[in-house]
Amino acid sequence: MSYQKDREAFLATMAREGMDLETARLILRDATTIQRWEEEECNGTIQVDDDDEKAERVSRYGSGESYREHRYPIPHRCNQAKARIRKRMPQGFAAVFQGDPRGACVKIKVPSGKYDDWGREGVCVPTRG
């Protein structure tokens, strides 16, 4: 399916479960942010400390064994987006985060128990990309 169809199906499911449309749209936006940052971390363009509070963007120039590496700190927007999603969850809903960007990085547990993922954890939040 296309992103647009996945997005509309997600919004319809959340509306049936009792989540307001504005909250569902904000979750879609933050899930896209999380997906993008998880992909960058997986690709090695950012590195996150063990405490998961700080992140560094890594820029590499050159090739082979001779390359320059520049590191500079950035705010970890992924954690900020996760906190916003947790804060927005209505009663009976819960957010599930998984760091593997090959699947859905954000899933929503709904009151009815409906799921659309193989792990039966919740409803996958679609993202662009």
Is the alpha carbon torsion for 126, 101, 103, 98 positive or negative? negative
- Cβ–Cβ < 8 Å for 10, 117: no
pLDDT at 117: 87
Q: pLDDT tens digits for the chain (129 residues)?
A: 688 999 999 999 999 999 999 999 999 999 998 898 888 877 776 666 555 555 666 655 555 565 566 665 555 778 889 999 999 999 999 999 987 888 899 999 999 999 998 889 999 999 986
Range of the domain at 99: 3-41+77-124
Predicted local distance difference test score (pLDDT) of residue 40: 80
Residue 89: exposure state from Cβ atoms within 10 A (0-12, 13-18, ≥19) = middle
Spatial separation of the C-alpha atoms in residues 93 and 14, rounded to whole Å: 10
Is 67 among the domain residues? Answer: no
Asked if residue 94 is part of any domain, the answer here is: yes
Residue 65 is assigned to a structural domain of this protein: no
> What pLDDT score does 100 carry?
82
The pLDDT, as a whole number, for residue 118 is: 87
**Is residue 61 in a domain?**
no
Helix or strand holding residue 42 (H, E): helix 21-43
First to last CA, the chain: 13
At residue 51, the pLDDT reads: 52
Task: Say if 81 falls within a structural domain.
Answer: yes
Q: How many domains does the chain have?
A: 1
Q: Please state, in angstroms and rounded to a whole number, the distance separating the CA atoms of residues 19 and 16.
A: 8
Q: How many C-beta atoms lie closer than 10 Å to residue 97's C-beta?
A: 16
80 vs 10, 37, 48, 84, 92, CA distance in Å? 22, 11, 14, 6, 22
Q: Residue 80's pLDDT is what?
A: 87
pLDDT of residue 78: 81
